[in-house]
Amino acid sequence: MADEKDTTGGFKVVDRRSFTSEGARRPDEPAADQPVPSSARPARVVTPEAVEEPLDEFPEEGSNFETLVSYLSTTAMFQLGLIPGPGGERIPVDMPNAQRTIDLLQVLQEKTQGNLTSQEARLLDNVLYELRMTFLELQKRQSRKVK
């Protein structure tokens, strides 16, 4: 039940949904016209073995500093309208959020200074330079359109 402790050392997931995955009402659930407080419902424990999808979807080498910089720079490029959307559609420029993403990369640079390899530091410098120059160019174009 809900008060039992899990002694396997793993984690415990409690499923409190009223319906099964097939859409049928669970047999231990009362009818809709008889509300029951959630604390009175029996807990259903889902073990890691019961999970059908593998938990290791991402390759081990995919989570490193270069990936983080790449993720943030790609996000900034989307926000600057430099990369088309998934269907090839044009993404509208979002200057305030692009500035926030560039600022996040700058914070990352400041907080990791002295702790990066020369290749990582060069990557971050180059990405920040390119994004800042592109941001300024787009800002100039927008100010010309307003005049």
Q: What is the 3-state secondary structure (H, E, C) of 25-85?
A: ECCCCCCCCCCCCHHHCCCCEECHHHCCCCCCCCCHHHCCHHHHHHHHHHHHHHHCCCCCC
Residue with tokens 């402790």: 5
Residue-wise pLDDT for 106-129, tens only, equals: 999 999 999 999 999 999 999 999
Comparing 131 with 146, which gets the higher pLDDT? Answer: 131
* Under 8 Å between Cβ of 124 and 95: no
Residue 101: left (phi > 0), alpha (psi -120 to 50), or beta?
Answer: alpha
Residue-wise pLDDT for 12-65, tens only, equals: 666 666 666 666 766 765 554 555 444 444 444 444 444 455 445 545 555 799
67, pLDDT greater than 90: yes
Q: Is 114 helix (H, G, I), strand (E, B) or coil?
A: coil
74 vs 64: CA distance, rounded Å? 15
| DSSP H or E run through 98 | helix 95-112
Please, is 127 exposed, middle or buried when counting C-beta atoms within 10 Å of its C-beta (0-12, 13-18, 19+)? buried
Please, is 124 exposed, middle or buried when counting C-beta atoms within 10 Å of its C-beta (0-12, 13-18, 19+)? buried
Binned at pLDDT 50, 70 and 90, residue 134 comes out as very high
pTM for this one?
0.57
